[in-house]
């Protein structure tokens, strides 16, 4: 908690700025909340660096060598693929920058010179770009639409001022023009009509299939595979229908990737790949998919989700639209309630917004990012992506700062995190090269695949289907008329308190650059839907600059508060914009001022005309008018033609509630019912007209810390303790590879309260089903209802710092015409079975436990994760098991005593459950016994036998075993008959003593019940090792030092084997001590000698000394010493006699080998 508390103090310090300490820059405390280094501090640090270098001359500073007479104010010489200079270079490129010489501007990327790519070839832009509609085959599978989609590398020009960009994306294999098009092919689907897909990976094989972006192979799933010899390839791909009601086999989770046919790898498909059972096997390099579409109308998209490379594949172009329609929407269009633009735009105009950076000219690249390898990743005009982990700290600098830094580094942070791989000896961070960046905020907006596009609109109402498809950037969308004096820009004016501002604006804060002039605000946006479908009511959203929470009573101070149409990553908005009142020829700009990161911005990620030159601290030069980089001015609308009648908003307001009720599932929690900070339960509805039921609130967590391998920033999901304690960490942070902790079942209602113990705003995405946002509550107890455009259903929800977000979910399996297999896979497919590498090894109560990489039954497997893609696979994702019936157990044998029987069995697959109840039934008499089993992945065997008591000697019995989880139970066939006989009672008083790689087990002999005991067997747990003997004690060898073990003992006579004893105490074998070295005779007198040796052990409890007078044939004890001794007086010797002496170390786990003997000759 110490880091969060420190950040909280800084957040609260922002209130002091509100009291009058502000200046022309963003409030320093606000930036400090996340970055700990403000823009002003970076400027000061950059100035100090320059001054220091001037004084140092030819000295080394911050890991860089400065030549005499030179000032290192630019990056070192280009070294593609080499080691970056972390402290004298930004290692961060911008898209091509214009050059201004004598007032003449050349180069760069002009804004608003290319038109918006539309849907279909008839709406291609001036560069030939368009989004094709996928070709449906309706005959191959009657009642379904069948598509054939391939994945290829291709090029496409995305702006007139740069050459074609190399892309990796989808291609319609059944129609179209035979070419791949960015963000296509768009699938248009109908409710309750399934979509079937054959997906073929047509990328190159081996080196030809490598990504054209930097790949950090230390990201799990991107590097070495489980055999320790072969890496996962970079041409892996899958399809995830984002927002779909998919059966898990067609959800496109991280382990459902395939490689192209012919790829030379032992890993040709992910461990979770399952083709559609009623479709033909598509063969190598292909997979089949089934998407039911049993949902209301909505905009979705399908994209890659491959383990370890999702962020790169999506950035490279593996994403396309998916538009689902339904009769309710059709009726709203046909009745004129919703605008109908006709043809391919009947359902609206898609606006798919992303941010990209394009590789600049070689001269600019060498000056900004000299280690970018154009030969591997692409040169001028291709996509650039961050690949150097730029640390905020520089211990060699007088101020401790790195002016070029962007993210914290664990070893140099407070409190420090000491990773497995720490700083290099030369004082530079020991992070990988290339390295994943926690986030990638790029500098150029791309809409439908074109940078800074223009769309001519008629003077009437338009419906836009907006998707934030950026990897990591959020958008606060607004509309403004262009500045009359600067017609490619939005007019910014000082945001001071000397004038009256619109009521929906935030309080004036004198922010750097000012805010858009409200007098030039364009039409409002009317939002009618989200990614969860139609809203219960339309929401009117005026153009509103971003503002922050300043209420001192709120713990979420400095979170984003005021905003326009705010979209986190993967969120969608179905909006109507009425251009009917826009003057002929008027130009409007779609504007964005969302902070990056959200909520605490780094000014270097905010590009706009009028900003300052930030190149001295790793940013871009000042943005030029009419040119990029510019992340504020996204696209331009130009109004043309005669004016139509204004949009009928009243008709929309009257129709939308009924449309919601007709097309959407009923809400789980009535609106207005909220969860408070300390609430443990909530009443929810189960069905229309039924009585509400009370549900326990499931507690989850978001945490932001440093990963332990390299010390880089990362965020994780996890669970909160049910009953937090001030003496205990309240959260348990979990990795994606850890055993599942989220388990739901079909139709079950769960309410999750997700506690955000961090600083970023995270868009959390739920696979498989939608959720209802109930409310948020900050840590001071302030309750915040859902925002108006969050009502209804969502599948991507923004969650902000020091706020608990409460959501309700009720998974519903879609109907499919085939049996769906279960997900059974290793916890960590990058490690061999049995490995204990990289697991968190903690349970939900923060108690240690041993986790091994085991084949695990996930039931129907989904995930939930942050959709900031740099967070998702580093490591902010967790599996979710949709619980199904367990498999049937197998009884392997029954041992019977006089009045009892021990039923042994192999545990069944648990159906995704974390626990299961086993019931043994003996017949006749219906005599039962129960036991509870937990996840078999955590230990080898949690339950493998159950003893039934109360049987009658001499009566034959049959036995069945039922295995039950929350979904149902399975029952074995009857086993037997078995007749109880006089086997021994179980041994008792079992006590274990640890040894080196072993344990000694002592026990008391039981009653033999009339037949002598012949042998005893000791069995260890959780790792099963056995040893046999005729009696106590018995030593179990082959144990692993450092792991915890317990033991049971059975006794056997001529009638059979007893039941197992009660478990012993738990012991941890530990290595024995090292023997001493350099044993020598320091002194030899007439009746004694002094021996000396080097104490080589670190865990000894003492030393044992022995002597021999017969040349070593027999040895006699001389005595022992305490720990850490290095000499011993050997007394009672005869004079003028030859002896041998030797020494060994010992501790509770045993003794070392003896040293070689030394010769002692007395005088």
pLDDT digits (tens, 9 = 90+) for 140-165: 999 999 999 999 999 999 999 999 99
> What is the rounded distance in angstroms from the CA atom of residue 777 to the CA atom of residue 1068?
44
The H or E element that residue 658 is part of is helix 649-663
Who wins on pLDDT, 437 or 1150? 437
Beta-carbon-side half-sphere exposure of residue 418 (alpha carbons within 13 Å)? 0
Q: What are the chain's domains? A: 1-96+390-431 (no CATH), 114-338 (2.60.40.420), 452-596+631-660 (2.60.40), 681-883 (2.60.40.420), 890-978 (2.60.40.10), 988-1057 (2.60.40.10), 1077-1161 (2.60.40.10)
Q: What is the structure's pLDDT at 68?
A: 28
Residue range 1023-1034: average pLDDT? 94
Per-residue CA distances from 658 to 328, 451, 652, 707 (Å): 9, 39, 10, 49
User: Which stretch of 86-90, 319-323, 915-919 has the lowest confidence by average pLDDT?
Assistant: 915-919
Q: CB–CB of 1134/1087 below 8 Å? A: yes
Mean predicted confidence (pLDDT) in 244-253: 98
Query: pTM for the full model?
Result: 0.85
Confidence category of residue 32, pLDDT binned at 50, 70, 90: very low
Whole-number percent of the chain with pLDDT over 90: 79
Residue 1081, pLDDT > 50, answer yes
Q: What is the pLDDT at residue 12?
A: 41
pLDDT at 816 over 70: yes
pLDDT in tens, 561-615: 999 999 999 999 999 999 999 999 999 999 999 999 999 999 999 999 999 999 9
| Residue 200 confidence (pLDDT) above 50 | yes
> Would the pLDDT of 15 be above 70?
no
Query: In this predicted structure, what is the pLDDT of residue 943?
Result: 74
Cα–Cα distances in angstroms (integers) from residue 285 to residues 226, 231, 249, in the given order: 21, 18, 17
Q: Tell me, what's the pLDDT at 770?
A: 98
- At 1072, give phi and psi (nearest 5°): -70, 165
User: CB–CB of 405/413 below 8 Å?
Assistant: no
Q: Tell whether the model's pLDDT for residue 187 goes beyond 50.
A: yes
Q: Which of 944, 825, 1022, 1017 is nearest to 269 (CA)?
A: 825
pLDDT at 150: 99
Mean pLDDT to the nearest integer, 1114-1126: 93
pLDDT of residue 11: 42
pLDDT digits (tens, 9 = 90+) for 668-721: 999 999 999 899 999 887 666 678 889 999 999 999 999 999 999 999 999 997
Span 319-344, mean pLDDT?
Answer: 98
Considering only the C-alpha atoms of the chain, give the largest distance between any 2 of them, rounded to a whole number of Å: 126
Q: Say what the pLDDT of residue 57 is.
A: 56
Strands (E), 969-1076: 969-971, 975-978, 988-995, 998-1004, 1015-1021, 1026-1029, 1034-1037, 1046-1053, 1056-1057
What average pLDDT does this structure show over 957-970? 95
Dihedral over alpha carbons 63, 64, 69, 75 (to 10 degrees): -140
pLDDT at 789: 98
In sequence order, the 6+-apart residues with CB closer than 8 A to the CB of 650 are none
CB-CB contact of 429 with 535 (8 Å): no
Task: Give the mean pLDDT of 906-928.
Answer: 91
Residue 26 pLDDT > 50, yes or no? no
Average pLDDT, the chain: 92
Has residue 31 got a pLDDT over 70? no
Residue 783 has pLDDT above 70, yes or no: yes
Q: Which pLDDT value is given to residue 3?
A: 39
Q: What is the mean pLDDT of residues 335-346?
A: 98
Read off the pLDDT band of 56 (50, 70, 90).
Answer: low
> What tokens were used for 408?
């914290």
3-state secondary structure of 17: helix
Predicted local confidence at residue 935, as pLDDT: 61
* Mean predicted confidence (pLDDT) in 873-894: 94
């Amino acid at each position: 908690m110490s880091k969060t508390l420190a950040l909280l103090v800084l957040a609260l310090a922002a209130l002091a700025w509100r009291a009058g300490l502000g200046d022309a820059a963003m409030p320093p405390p606000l930036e400090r909340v996340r970055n700990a280094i403000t823009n002003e501090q970076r400027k000061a640090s950059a100035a100090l660096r320059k001054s220091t270098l001037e004084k140092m001359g030819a000295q080394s500073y911050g890991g860089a060598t400065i030549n005499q007479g030179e000032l290192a104010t630019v990056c070192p010489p280009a070294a593609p693929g080499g080691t970056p200079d972390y402290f004298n270079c930004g290692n961060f490129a911008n898209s091509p920058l214009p050059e201004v010489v004598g007032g003449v501007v050349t180069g760069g990327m002009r804004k608003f010179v290319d038109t918006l790519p539309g849907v279909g070839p008839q709406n291609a832009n001036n560069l030939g770009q368009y989004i094709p509609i996928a070709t449906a085959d309706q005959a191959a599978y009657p009642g379904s639409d069948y598509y054939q989609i391939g994945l290829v590398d291709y090029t496409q020009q995305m702006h007139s001022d740069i050459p074609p960009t190399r892309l990796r994306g989808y291609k319609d294999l059944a129609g179209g023009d035979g070419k791949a098009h960015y963000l296509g092919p768009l699938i248009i689907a109908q409710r309750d009509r399934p979509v079937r897909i054959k997906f073929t990976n047509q990328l190159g094989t081996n080196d030809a299939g490598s990504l054209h972006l930097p790949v950090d192979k230390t990201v799990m799933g991107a590097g070495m595979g489980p055999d320790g010899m072969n890496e996962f390839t970079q041409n892996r791909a899958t399809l995830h229908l984002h927002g779909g009601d998919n059966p898990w086999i067609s959800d496109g989770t991280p382990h459902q990737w395939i490689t192209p046919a012919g790829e030379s790898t032992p890993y040709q498909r992910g461990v979770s790949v399952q083709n559609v059972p009623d479709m033909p096997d598509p063969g190598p390099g292909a997979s089949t998919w089934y998407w039911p579409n049993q949902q209301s109308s909505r905009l979705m998209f399908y994209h890659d989700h491959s383990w370890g490379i999702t962020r790169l594949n999506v950035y490279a172009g593996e994403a396309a639209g998916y538009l689902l329609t339904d009769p309710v929407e059709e009726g709203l269009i046909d009745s004129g309630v919703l605008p109908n633009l006709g043809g391919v735009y009947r359902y609206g105009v898609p606006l798919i917004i992303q941010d990209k950076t394009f590789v600049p000219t070689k001269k600019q690249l060498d000056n900004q990012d000299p280690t970018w390898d154009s030969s591997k990743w692409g040169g001028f005009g291709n996509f650039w992506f961050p690949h150097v982990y730029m640390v905020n700290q520089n211990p060699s600098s007088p101020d401790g700062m790195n002016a070029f830094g962007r993210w914290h580094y664990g070893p140099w942070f407070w409190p420090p995190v000491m990773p497995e791989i720490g700083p290099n000896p030369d004082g530079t961070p020991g992070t990988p090269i290339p390295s994943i960046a926690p986030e990638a905020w790029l500098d150029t907006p791309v809409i439908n695949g074109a940078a800074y596009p223009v769309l001519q609109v008629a003077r009437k109402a338009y419906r836009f289907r907006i998707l934030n498809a950026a990897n990591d950037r959020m958008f606060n969308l607004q509309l403004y008329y262009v500045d009359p004096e600067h017609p490619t820009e939005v007019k910014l004016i000082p945001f001071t308190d000397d004038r009256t501002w619109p009521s929906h604006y935030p309080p004036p804060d004198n922010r750097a650059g000012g805010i858009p002039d409200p007098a030039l605000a364009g039409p409002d946006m009317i939002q009618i839907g989200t990614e969860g479908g139609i809203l219960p009511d339309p929401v009117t959203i005026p153009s509103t600059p971003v503002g922050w929470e300043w209420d001192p009573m709120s713990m979420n101070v400095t979170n984003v508060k005021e905003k326009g149409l705010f979209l986190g990553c993967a969120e969608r908005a179905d909006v109507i914009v009425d251009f009917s009142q826009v003057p002929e020829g008027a130009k409007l700009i779609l504007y964005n001022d969302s902070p990056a990161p959200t909520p605490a911005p780094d000014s270097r990620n905010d590009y706009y005309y009028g900003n300052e030159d930030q190149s001295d601290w790793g940013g871009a030069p000042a943005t030029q008018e009419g040119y990029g980089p510019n992340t504020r001015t996204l696209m331009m609308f130009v109004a043309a033609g005669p004016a139509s009648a204004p949009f009928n908003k009243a008709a929309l307001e009257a129709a939308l509630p009924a449309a919601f009720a007709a097309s959407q599932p009923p809400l789980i929690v009535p609106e207005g019912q909220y969860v408070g900070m300390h609430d443990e339960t909530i009443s929810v509805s189960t069905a229309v007209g039924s009585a509400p039921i009370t549900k326990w609130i499931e507690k989850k967590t978001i945490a932001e810390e440093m990963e332990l391998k390299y010390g880089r920033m990362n965020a994780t999901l996890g669970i909160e303790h049910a009953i937090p304690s001030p003496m205990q960490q309240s959260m348990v942070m979990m990795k994606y590879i850890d055993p599942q902790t989220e388990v739901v079942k079909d139709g079950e209602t769960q309410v999750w309260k997700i506690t955000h113990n961090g600083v970023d705003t995270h868009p959390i995405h739920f696979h498989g089903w939608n959720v209802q946002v109930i409310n948020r509550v900050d840590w001071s107890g302030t309750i915040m209802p859902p925002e108006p455009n969050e009502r209804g259903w969502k599948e991507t929800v923004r969650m902000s710092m020091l706020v608990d977000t409460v959501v309700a979910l009720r998974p519903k399996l879609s109907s499919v015409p085939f049996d769906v297999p279960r997900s059974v896979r290793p916890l960590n497919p990058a490690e061999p079975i049995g490995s204990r590498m990289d697991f968190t090894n903690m349970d939900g109560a923060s108690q240690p436990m041993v986790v091994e990489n085991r084949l695990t039954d996930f039931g129907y497997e989904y995930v939930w994760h942050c959709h900031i893609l740099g967070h998702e696979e580093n490591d902010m994702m967790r599996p979710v098991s949709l619980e199904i019936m367990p498999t049937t157990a197998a009884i392997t044998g029954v041992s019977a005593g006089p009045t009892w029987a021990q039923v042994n069995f192999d545990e069944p697959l648990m159906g995704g459950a974390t626990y299961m109840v086993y019931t043994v039934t003996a017949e006749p008499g219906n005599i039962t016994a129960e036991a509870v089993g937990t996840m078999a992945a955590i230990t080898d065997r949690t339950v493998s036998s159950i003893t039934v008591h109360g049987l009658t000697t001499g009566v034959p019995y049959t036995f069945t075993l039922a295995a039950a989880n929350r979904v149902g139970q399975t029952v074995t066939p009857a086993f037997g008959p078995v007749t109880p006989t006089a086997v021994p009672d179980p041994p008792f008083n079992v006590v274990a003593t640890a040894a080196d790689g072993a344990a000694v087990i002592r026990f008391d002999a039981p009653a033999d019940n009339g037949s002598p005991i012949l042998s005893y067997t000791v069995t260890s747990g959780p790792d099963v090792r056995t040893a046999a003997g005729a009696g106590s004690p018995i030593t179990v060898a082959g144990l692993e030092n450092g792991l915890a073990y317990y033991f049971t003992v059975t006794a056997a006579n001529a009638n059979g084997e007893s039941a197992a004893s009660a478990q012993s105490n738990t012991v941890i074998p530990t290595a024995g001590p090292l023997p001493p070295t350099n044993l020598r005779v320091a002194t030899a007198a007439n009746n004694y000698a002094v021996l000396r040796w080097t104490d080589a052990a670190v865990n000894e409890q003492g030393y044992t000394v022995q002597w021999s007078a017969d040349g070593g044939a027999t040895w006699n004890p001389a005595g022992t010493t305490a720990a850490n001794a290095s000499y011993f007086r050997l007394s009672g010797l005869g004079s003028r006699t030859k002896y041998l002496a030797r020494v060994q170390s010992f501790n509770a786990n045993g003794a070392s080998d003896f040293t070689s003997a030394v010769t002692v000759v007395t005088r």
